[in-house]
Amino acid sequence: MQPFFSILVVCLNPGDKLKVTLESIENQSFQDYEVIVKDGISTDGSLAYAEALLEKWQGEKKLCRLKLVSKKDSGIYDAMNQAAEAADGKYVYFLNCGDRFYSETVLAEMADFIRVCRREGEGSTIIPGIYYGNIYERLTGQQVTSNPHMDAFGCYRNVPCHQACFYDRRLLMAHPFETRYRVRADYEQFLWCFFTSEFQEKVDFQYKEMLIADYEGGGFSETKENRRISAREHKEITGKYMTRGQLFKFRLILWLTLAPIRTKLAENEKTAGIYNRLKKILYLRK
């Protein structure tokens, strides 16, 4: 029987972080899921917990199941593609090592939300979708609210991070992450879904105001060097999907609204709370 969710965890020598993440998954009240642990041949013994959990679930004959995929990859996005290929679920969710579900009812609430969204409108069960919410950022101790109304400017400025998104698996199979991007492959994939999806119908973007993940922060994409790479990749990717007129307009808006200053406010522990509350108010007023 096809599971409703595939929870994908990619890792390489994650230490105790893998245990933290798998415990968070196991504690979910909703059990119609599988877990894919895609390991890049770790040597730190961290897979021992996953192997023990696999035996435990098999012995208890649980509805949920766990797969271990151990093979080399060329980096995080190649690993994410390998995990997606191994998945059987209708909807795919990436949970990084060290991150946790915000509560024990996240999967139950999101499953109900997806079912309702797919019942709305004639033919809605055919259209693939991305269903997303908000995250709690442990680094700043604040809720980060996603844009509830996706449009071209929203895609340029701020798409939900993948820890906030549940993807129809068909989207990842039709357009896997482009591994030539070191930091922004998930961003490129999101823009492909919004602007040039190969599906006849437009991809359905549905927002639910709830906290999905307790996000560790300070990870791979947030180092100083990778931020420079991120800026270069953002320019290339937006140029690929947006017109010159759109790019000029969006850059002007960000310049007039002091985007660099707002970024610093969002990342500072002392100001992040006020900034994110104001952002949430503005989003919900749209």
Average pLDDT over every residue of 35-61: 92
The pTM for the full model equals 0.86
Q: How far apart (Å, rounded) are the C-alpha atoms in residues 89 and 67?
A: 12
The dihedral sign for the CA sequence 219, 106, 120, 35:
positive
Residue 225 pLDDT level (bands cut at 50, 70, 90):
confident
- Flag the least confident range among 27-36, 58-67, 152-161, 226-235: 58-67
Q: Could you tell me what percent of the chain has a pLDDT over 90?
A: 68
Q: What are the chain's domains?
A: 1-98 (3.90.550.10), 105-160+174-286 (no CATH)
For the chain, how are helix, strand and coil distributed in percent, rounded to 5? 45, 20, 35
CA distance 51 to 58: 11
Whether residue 77 contacts residue 183, with contact meaning beta carbons closer than 8 Å, is answered with no
Tens digits of per-residue pLDDT, 111-143? Answer: 999 999 986 444 445 689 999 999 999 888 888
CA distance from start to end of the chain:
41
Helix (H) or strand (E) holding 23: helix 17-26
In degrees and rounded to multiples of 5, residue 212 shows phi and psi of -90, -55
Letter string b/e over residues 190-219, b meaning 16 or more CB atoms within 10 A of that residue's CB: bbbbbeebeeeeebbbbbbebbbbbbbbee
